[in-house]
Amino acid sequence: AAKSTRGNQYRLYRPNMEEANDKWLLLETKLHQALKKDILELHYQPKIDLKTDKVIGMEALLRWYDPELGQMPPDRFIPFAEECGLINDIGVWVLRKASAQARAWNESYHLNLRVAVNISPIHISTTGFVDMVRDVIAETGINPHLLEIEITEMSMLDYTEDLIDTIKQLRALGITISLDDFGTGYSSLNYLKKFPVDVLKIDRAFVRDIVPEKSGIAMISAMISLAHALNLEVVAEGVEEEAELKVLREQGCEYVQGYYFSKPLSVEDFTKLIDESVSVNKSDF
Ligand code: C2E
Ligand code: MG
Ligand code: MG
Ligand code: MG
């Protein structure tokens, strides 16, 4: 019935609530199952230190392939998971998986790669979050100094003293905190001052604007200066072009991520990348 109303000029006045509900339920069930059956996967995107041009760590990015729905983009299913309440379980799963994987790579190759995990502002604001992180650290044996948590700027919108306290506790454990997608949210500079983070991740939207727009360079330059004035390190996201990289270097950006260096890689492909680098450089990555 829903199909036949599509394209019908009265469609707007007869939203098929039942169909919407069914879709929602199906998605929720599927995501729940994927989590329970360990079907979700993490890919890892290298982060490059511009001082040495070496890989210093990686960001874990969630991948969900469903046989019927196909490859589901995280930009779509993460907000859904936040709404239906699955996000906390997903966050714990990601943290555990990424920590165990990073520890395994670091042990077998004698490396000190730092793994970054994206955590939803909803999850980090949950009571017991720090205890959970402490448990995962103990369980996986990851060095907390090699663990990073990325939270989006959005969380500062409804930031509370509790959230600031949580972040302080995480940092006291040795964990690095970075502010993801900087520049796309609604935070004021005042919030940034109050927010005790270590790293600022400049959103790809600003990196993309670098060339050939002169104002784009001014913007990036101002963001990097601001970060440095606040004693924060800077990561630029989504670097695709040599020209972007050149400007970022000139402006003193510390780290970059992007297709120019590498897409997010499966565990197998990331291992290959380490293997190749290690065999060329002898334990240097
Ligand atoms: P994000 O944390 O800002 O991650 C960066 C996104 O940019 C990733 O998309 C990455 O694949 C993509 N990217 C990296 N380099 C380039 C580039 O050079 N060009 C372009 N066009 N894109 C690039 P992805 O993996 O689709 O993830 C999208 C968003 O979904 C993430 O943005 C993050 O907010 C969220 N997300 C992904 N995994 C997780 C997770 O495990 N937990 C949570 N809470 N959110 C996640
Ligand atoms: Mg991120
Ligand atoms: Mg980002
Ligand atoms: Mg993003």
- pLDDT tens figures, 14-45: 556 777 788 888 999 999 999 999 999 999 99
d(CA 246, CA 133): 37
- Ligand 1, residue 74: give the atom nearest the CA: 30
Higher pLDDT, 281 or 89: 89
Neighbours of ion ligand 4 (CB under 5 A): 181
- pLDDT tens figures, 78-110: 999 999 999 999 999 999 999 999 999 999 999
Radius of gyration of the chain (CA): 21
CB 73 within 8 A of CB 124: no
Tokens (6 digits) for 28: 């929720």
Ligand 3 centroid – CA 6 distance (Å): 36
- Ligand 1, residue 123: give the atom nearest the CA: 44
What residue's CA is closest to ligand 1, atom 16? 238
Best probe residue, ligand 1, of 35, 118, 239 (max atoms within 8 Å of C-beta): 118
First-to-final CA distance of the chain: 58
What residue's CA is closest to ligand 1, atom 2? 118
- Ligand 1, residue 264: give the atom nearest the CA: 11
240 lines ligand 1 (CB under 6 A): yes
What residue's CA is closest to ligand 1, atom 28? 75
Above 70 in pLDDT, residue 7?
A: no
Tallying the residues shown for the chain, one arrives at 285
Ligand 2 centroid – CA 42 distance (Å): 13
Ligand 4 centroid – CA 181 distance (Å): 6
120 lines ligand 1 (CB under 6 A): yes
79 lines ligand 1 (CB under 6 A): no
What residue's CA is closest to ligand 1, atom 42? 118
Quote the distance between the C-alpha of residue 175 and its chain's center: 15
- pLDDT tens figures, 129-159: 999 999 999 999 999 999 999 998 765 556 6
pTM score: 0.92
- pLDDT tens figures, 215-263: 889 999 999 999 999 999 999 999 999 999 999 999 999 999 999 999 9
Ligand 1 centroid – CA 243 distance (Å): 22
CB 87 within 8 A of CB 78: yes
Above 70 in pLDDT, residue 121?
A: yes
Ligand 1 centroid – CA 61 distance (Å): 6
d(CA 173, CA 186): 29
What residue's CA is closest to ligand 1, atom 22? 238
Ligand 3 centroid – CA 85 distance (Å): 22
Alpha helices (H) in 113-258, listed in sequence order: 121-124, 129-140, 161-172, 189-194, 204-208, 214-229, 242-250
Kindly report the average pLDDT of the chain as a whole number: 89
Ligand 1 centroid – CA 73 distance (Å): 9
Ligand 2 centroid – CA 181 distance (Å): 7
Specify the amino acid at residue 111.
Answer: L
